[in-house]
Structure formats: C-alpha cells, structure tokens
Amino acid sequence: MKKIILLISGSGSNMVAIKEAIDIGIIKQTKISCVICNEPSASGIKKAQDLGLRTQILNHRDFASRELFDEELANKLDEFDPNLIILAGFMRILSEKFTARFKGKILNIHPSLLPKYPGLNTHEKALKNKDQEHGVTIHFVNEELDGGPVIAQGYLTIGESKDSEALRKRIHKIEHDLYPKIIDAVISNEIKLTPSGTFYKASCQHYIQRVFYAV
C-alpha cells in the first residue's frame, strides 16, 4: 500500500475528490496517511474529519520564519514516510531546502495554463486578458513558485461569460478529474521526474498533450 499526505489551506474540494478517487479505485493501492493544514479556520479540516481522515493543523503563524515552519512540516512528513506529498490548495511558498529534500515527491495543482499566470487570481487575469482558453497545470514542485516540471494540463474554452466565480467552478471540475488520475500515474511510477524532465511510460503519453474538457 502506498501512502500520500495531502497539504491544504482552504476548502479542500480537491482533497475530497482525491479521497473519492481512492475509494472507487481510480487511485489504486493508496491510502491518505494524513491531511495537514496550515490554516486553523480552513473549512477543509472538517471535511477531512467527516471523511474519516487523520488531520493535523500546523499554523504557520506559530513559527518565527518560513524556514522554521518548513522544518517542522518536513519533520512531520518524515514521520509518515509518504510516497507522495500532494499540495491541494496549499497556500504557502515552500523554501528551497524543503523542495530539495522531497524532490520528485511533491505534486501541485495550479489553476492556470502555466507558464501563464503563476501566483494568485488566475481566473480574473484570464478574463481580463480576454483569453479564449484557460485551464489547470499539474506539476512537480521545485524551488520556483508554480515553476516545476509540468506533468499534465487540462483546459477549457472560456466562452462569453465574464463571471470569474463561474469560471472557477468549471476549472474545479477539471481539477477533480485530472488530479486523481495523475496522482495514480505518479504513484505507480508511470510518470516520474528524471534529470531531463518529466518521463511518461507509453500508457501515459497522452498527458504530454493538453487534455480538453467540455465543462
């Protein structure tokens, strides 16, 4: 059985989708060892508990520096010895020391077609720039914010609506479908990080192209 740890800061809808994907066998032979949240008021904590998941709160405000927080987080992760660390709406920049320690073992999902729009407010930026397409990127995490090697991208056509909340919901649908599939592929070594970038076994080479979603 493989072990994953989820790191969250907010509503945890990706966490719920990942748990469901484990339950129905989309992510195979895997258990969630713990959900760690840095934000005590996050609504995702109760959702995790309702799903029967073990939770831990590690409030970043209790630490004098980013490095000290990251060190404690790394120590906690080591206790669980996870095969993969999944950032699922984890709103913290991770230090270089941390990302180097877990190289190739941390995945993130970002709500834009990177390298477009790293950082926050991606839906608003896509709408403001009158983009025709918008989407999500799943990538390995390195020291660069939203900058690690890309694994997969899912995209939609924006259409006429200028409503960023509606767009956010459509993007979430892509996330909830694509993230579990990629987690399964990485945990079973069908996709992995190599010195020359992301490596795909034949069964996963369709992820080299962006995946279109009619959502």
Shortest Å distance, C-beta 196 to ligand GRF = 26
Shortest Å distance, C-beta 201 to ligand GRF = 25
Q: Is 6 helix (H, G, I), strand (E, B) or coil?
A: strand
Q: Is 110 a catalytic residue?
A: yes
Shortest Å distance, C-beta 27 to ligand GRF = 16
Sites of contact with ligand GRF (CB under 6 A): 8, 10-14, 44, 88-89, 109-111, 136, 175
CB nearer to ligand GRF: pick between 44 and 148: 44
**In the numeric block, which tokens belong to residue 118?**
């790293």
CA–CA separation, 9 and 91 (whole Å): 6
CB nearer to ligand GRF: pick between 108 and 188: 108
Taking CB positions, which residue lies at the least distance from ligand GRF?
89
Shortest Å distance, C-beta 109 to ligand GRF = 4
CB nearer to ligand GRF: pick between 71 and 116: 116
| Annotated catalytic residue, options 110, 123, 134, 139 | 110
CB nearer to ligand GRF: pick between 43 and 203: 43
Question: Which residues are the active-site residues?
Answer: 110
